[in-house]
Amino acid sequence: MCLAIPVRVDSIEENTALIEFGGVRRPVDLRLLENVQVGDYVLVHAGFAIQRLDEEEARKTLELFREISGERS
């Protein structure tokens, strides 16, 4: 089973974005998508951004993850 996580792009340098998820900052490869901008939400799988999401869809998905994990907003 594969899982892609929606994250917000915090910064970009060349083909790499810096994102934060669960308090952990990580680099993400952007070479599979065009024109990703700081502030965009992307789905990340195995270190690659694989799809751009609108903010509302990303927030709904993140809220579902929080509910599943039992974390409170």
Q: Residue 45 maps to which CATH number? A: 2.30.30.140
- Write out pLDDT tens, residues 13-63: 999 999 998 889 999 999 999 999 999 999 999 999 999 999 999 999 889
Structural domain that includes position 56: 5-69
For position 72, what pLDDT does the model report?
65
The pTM assigned to this predicted structure is 0.85
Q: Record the tokens describing residue 70, joined without a space.
A: 């039992």
Number of domains within the chain: 1
CA 49 to chain CA centroid, nearest Å: 7
For position 21, what pLDDT does the model report?
86
For position 22, what pLDDT does the model report?
82
DSSP bridge pairs for 44: 5, 49
What's the CA gap between 36 and 43, in Å, rounded? Answer: 12
CB 42, CB 33: distance < 8 Å: yes
For position 65, what pLDDT does the model report?
84
For position 1, what pLDDT does the model report?
61
